[in-house]
Structure 1
Amino acid sequence: MKVLCKKRWHLVKDWMPHGGIGIEIGIARARFSRVCLSFLNPDKLFLVDSWDRGQHTSRAGLREDWTAVQESRRREAYSSMRPDIEAGRVEIIQSLSVDAATRFPDEYFDWVFVDADHSYEGCHADAVAYLPKLKSGGLMIFHDYGVREGYGVKQVVDELIAAGALDPVGVTDEKRAVTAMLRKP
């Protein structure tokens, strides 16, 4: 895919549609969500995260309890989005992303930003769940497209392109966390 810009916020600012309805899947603290709000001024922005708690394996291979970490992220997300939630511009959905997809009609979103479960199975499930929810001509953006151990994002994106489900638009030129943008035909 061709390189569109250096960083993912440049991708938002220069390549994504302003206004409309968008959804970000996997928001953690909602810091990137603020970027989307600032640059795109969407009519409505849905933010989905399960803030999954319990035991997780760290990058060092250690088992860690993420309950406190995820609760801190959840609180920060709600706090930073409070004015926009109260204004009706933002809705936060605490749910598994695939479950949240059932709340929306088909052909609903102008763009879908996928940054939740980076495993092949998780990313594939998100893509399959949200592809029908994306309008024709809409954008599906995948963060962490680069090849990283344990990540299946690149494989999912490449399969969607090969199947003709999405057309490639381009990628960011980042060393680790490449973002891929695709368009629904």
Structure 2
Amino acid sequence: MFTSLVKGMIENTPIKKWEYIDRRLEIRRKRKRIEFIEQFLPKNGIGAELGVFKGHLSPTLLEHTKPQKLHLIDPWYFLSSRWEWANGNQSTVDALIKILQIFKKEIEDGRILIHVGDDLQVVATFPDRYFDWVYIDTSHQYEHTKQELLLLESKVKEDGIIAGDDWQPDPNRRHYGVYKAVNEFVSSGKYTLIYSDNDNRQWAIKRS
């Protein structure tokens, strides 16, 4: 059915072959990411997304983890007025406004809490063993990721999960720092890598 649907899109929509391939790849990655979230992130708990950007993943996290509370943490305009590297609208203020509009009901209900600021500073304000899970999608830099993991060691529950995006084992890739930081962190023996996917770029760790 999926193949027929995509074939119909190709026949009725004037898109180029490479665009068709990109769309199929993106659909497959989204499906695998949902499967990853459903399998590894605890349900009905307290979660956090570090690095929200324009909120592309936030609805998926909300739908498939059904959290009691979901903390969305991003510097937005505290970092800069624009994301020069982003596609489309680069305004950080507009991105935050969009988030507030999309989750208006959940914010008013207290189910979603918005935090504007550096994630290390924001996360440090929470009690120890507070989160059931945290998903990291921030700077992707080695030092920053290393600091995040060290901080989350005390902020995530004993049976909690730390997960994230941009798992890239190739040292020549731009986000290799995430892979390096996570592997160094688990090498201490306190945490175990329970999932990694070079294709879908997702990873998850939990306390040993």
Instruction: Flag the 1:58–1:105 CA change in 2: closer, same or farther, 3 A.
Output: same
> Which amino acid in structure 2 is aligned with residue 36 of structure 1?
L
TM-score when normalising by structure 2: 0.75
The structure with the largest strand share of the pair is: 1
User: 1-side partners of 2:181 and 2:73: how far apart?
Assistant: 20
Equivalent residue, structure 2, for 1:87: 109
Correspondence list, 1:125-164, <5 A: 125-147=147-169, 148-149=173-174, 151-164=176-189
Structure 2 residue 191 is the aligned partner of structure 1 residue 166: yes
User: 2-side partners of 1:184 and 1:157: how far apart?
Assistant: 13
Contact conserved, 1:140 with 1:184, CA < 8 A, in 2? no
Q: Cα offset for 1:101?
A: 1.3
Q: Cα offset for 1:56?
A: 6.7
Identical aligned residues as a percent: 26
Gaps of 5+ in 2: 1-29
Contact conserved, 1:6 with 1:172, CA < 8 A, in 2? no
Correspondence list, 1:69-84, <5 A: 69-84=91-106
Name which of structure 1's ranges 50-59 and 132-141 shifts more when overlaid on structure 2: 50-59
Gaps of 5+ in 1: 60-66
Contact conserved, 1:168 with 1:181, CA < 8 A, in 2? yes
Contact conserved, 1:28 with 1:77, CA < 8 A, in 2? no
Name which of structure 1's ranges 149-158 and 92-101 shifts more when overlaid on structure 2: 149-158
Equivalent residue, structure 2, for 1:64: none
Q: Cα offset for 1:9?
A: 1.9
Q: RCO (CA 8 Å, sep 6+): is it higher in 1 or 2?
A: 1
The structure with the largest helix share of the pair is: 2
Q: Cα offset for 1:108?
A: 0.8
Structure 2 residue 201 is the aligned partner of structure 1 residue 178: yes
Q: Give the match's secondary structure for 1:103.
A: coil
Contact conserved, 1:120 with 1:152, CA < 8 A, in 2? yes
User: 2-side partners of 1:69 and 1:55: how far apart?
Assistant: 5
Structure 2 residue 62 is the aligned partner of structure 1 residue 40: no
Structure 2 residue 138 is the aligned partner of structure 1 residue 113: no
> Which amino acid in structure 2 is aligned with residue 49 of structure 1?
D
User: 1-side partners of 2:158 and 2:102: how far apart?
Assistant: 32
1:73-131 CA-partner distances (Å, limit 9, x unpaired): 21111211111101110101001000001221111111011111111111112111222
Structure 2 residue 64 is the aligned partner of structure 1 residue 53: no
TM-score when normalising by structure 1: 0.84
Q: CA RMSD in A?
A: 2.4
User: 2-side partners of 1:6 and 1:172: how far apart?
Assistant: 13
Contact conserved, 1:140 with 1:182, CA < 8 A, in 2? yes
Q: Give the match's secondary structure for 1:107.
A: coil
Name which of structure 1's ranges 49-58 and 98-107 shifts more when overlaid on structure 2: 49-58
Contact conserved, 2:163 with 2:202, CA < 8 A, in 1? yes
Contact conserved, 2:40 with 2:161, CA < 8 A, in 1? no
Aligned pair count?
173
